[in-house]
Amino acid sequence: SAQVAADEASAVGINWTFAPMMDISRDARWGRVMEGAGEDPYLGAAIAVARVKGFQGDDLAAPNTIAACAKHFAAYGFSESGKEYNTVDIGMSTLYNFVLPPFKAAVDNEVATVMNGFNILNGIPVTGNKMLQRDILKGKWGFDGFVISDWASMAEMATHGYARDLKHVAELAANAGSDMDMQSFAYITHLKENVEEGNVSMEVIDDAVRRILRI
């Protein structure tokens, strides 16, 4: 199905999709359960890999392939009470053994991009979570694609009370490893001044730009 989608999307000039969603979830009240592969991390990883390969094929330069996006990094499917955008509070064992395996499998199979999420994970919004994005994804796993925020999830860090304002949002997200801002307008309005004031280093900017241009 992913390969068919890639054939049809690429034929009209689309070269990137925000799929597959590989969130493991145990709560059927969460409205997005139909997008994922259920409760089992092994099955979730297998389906994630199949969909990534379907979208991307063996060569992203081929005219009938599109870049895939592993989402939502991470733990979005464990939102309390199944409520959308809600808080997630889970132990490291659950994170590593249930939440992360599909993402690790996708990275091992060269998924081009990763999307973070709306949720807080153990007190920190995942869009501003350095442990997830820099330490695990780009560090331990060696992911060389780029990370995009979910729709306005950067701005929602201020709504969560984690950031003071949109300028602070841009600083936190960039330093945590979010390379591209979807729809918050935090980067385009505030990233330059954050660099000029020393809040974000040019090394962070260069790394994000290289990742995006590479894809």
By annotation, the residues acting in catalysis are: 150
Distance between CA 172 and CA 48 in Å, rounded? 29
Distances in whole angstroms, Cα of residue 124 to Cα of each of 56, 158, 166: 32, 12, 16
CB 74 within 8 A of CB 125: no
Within 13 Å and on the Cβ side, how many CA atoms surround 149?
Answer: 31
* Tokens describing residue 63: 């005219």
What is the b/e burial string over 59-97, where b = at least 16 CB atoms within 10 angstroms of the residue's CB? eeeeeebbbbbbbbbbbbbbbeebeeebbbeeeeeebee
Q: Give the distance, in angstroms, between the CA of residue 134 and the centroid of all CA atoms in the same chain.
A: 12
